[in-house]
A = this chain, B = another copy of it.
Amino acid sequence: MAVTIKQVAEYAGVSAATVSNVLSDSKSVREESRRKVMAAVKALNYKANPAASLLRSGRSNVIGAVVPNLQNPFFAAMLAAIERHCGDDGYELIVASSNDNETTETARIRSLLTWRPAGLFVVPCSRNFPSLDLVTGADVPLVLADRAASQRGADFVEIDNRLAGRMTAEKLRELGHSRVAAFAPSFDVDNIRERLAGLTETLGTPLRQIAIGREQDRLDVADVAALWEDDCTAAVALTNSATLMALAALRHLGRTVPDDVSLIGFDDYDWMAVAAPSITAIRQPVREMAQVAWDSLRKRIKGGAALNTHTMHQPELIIRESTAPASR
């Protein structure tokens, strides 16, 4: 069996309570005792049993994270960044995926909560985030990102989606495009709606909406291609998966990018720079967003004022080869 706090106490010649106090530095301890305890900890290679300390104190150093999909590179990048921050601050990250499904999301959150996590980071899969009460009811600090807008009792991190829409539209207008199609997995998610609103607002005319379906119920390329309307000279993909689908659909239709159709993608990934043509895209500052999300969560954990922060980050439009004047 592993080394226990009693063994450490005995080795150091103090009581278990003192060891505990030293390790959590919650109470002042005489310098000499502290030294002896630290020496014992090192000598015996002591690791506290987190289950015992959780059971007694009701608090753990676990952070739970729930995202709609582990394979989406945007979420993966978020998680990677958050994981790093957690580790640096002595927390551990438990990752769960909701599979873009509210029921699974609730189930996952419910089981995460049984571990009494120090905090929860969630990218909700729907606009209304039905598990909100579950989390706030358990009094667990919560930070949301990307979808589901602001909720009472949680901080929220996203990009300025409307601005992203406007930036995209401005570029297209500048190139002379007016008939534009928008691709997205679903148009019933807050961030997508905002992006679309920004586009419509600037373009001054509604876009053709092409829903490609989420994950499991993703449409077939042929079906998506069938939704394409030929008078469109440009396509905007509002999501990274939509970018791939748009590309596939245009290819299926035999349209050339950017000669026949200009394309602007969402989320900037390695392959977009390398593709031929390379893809003009909106970049989200993932690292920065993760940083802010973590800071908010930590602030909530430390029990600061419960301001329901809503941070909007600046998207960036990376111009590449997939966009060209409409005249061509």
Contacts and interface: CB of A to CB of B under 8 A. Distances in A.
A242 B188 CA distance: 37
B73 A77 contact: no
Interface residues of A, number: 48
Interface string A79-106: 1100110010000111111010000000
Nearest to A60: B51
Contacts of A52: 51, 55
Interface stretch (A121-129, A164-172, A176-184, A271-279): A271-279
Given A92-B96, A244-B271, A276-B277, A55 B49 contact: yes
Contact of A244 (B47, B49, B108, B270): B270
A70 interface: yes
Contacts of A110: 47
Contact of A276 (B50, B83, B95, B276): B276
A296 to B, nearest CB: 21
Interface in A99-140: 99, 108, 110-112, 114-116
Contacts of A79: 70, 95
Contacts of A95: 79, 83, 93-95
Given A114-B47, A270-B244, A83 B70 contact: yes
- What's the number of copies of this chain in the assembled complex? 2
A81 to B, nearest CB: 9
Contacts of A54: 51
Nearest to A82: B70
A69 interface: yes
A42 interface: no
Chain A residues touching B, majority SS? helix
A51 B55 contact: yes
A117 B248 CA distance: 43
A47 B111 CA distance: 9
A48 interface: yes
Contacts of A80: 69-71, 97
Nearest to A50: B114
Nearest to A99: B84
Contact of A97 (B71, B83, B116, B251): B83
A251 B274 contact: yes
Given A48-B114, A71-B77, A275-B271, A93 B93 contact: no
Interface of A: 2, 47-52, 54-55, 60, 69-71, 73, 76-77, 79-80, 83-84, 87, 92-97, 99, 108, 110-112, 114-116, 241, 244, 247-248, 251, 269-271, 273-277
25 contacts: A2-B114, A47-B114, A49-B55, A50-B115, A51-B51, A51-B55, A69-B80, A70-B76, A70-B79, A70-B83, A71-B76, A71-B80, A73-B73, A76-B76, A79-B95, A83-B97, A87-B108, A92-B112, A93-B94, A93-B96, A95-B95, A244-B270, A247-B274, A248-B273, A271-B275
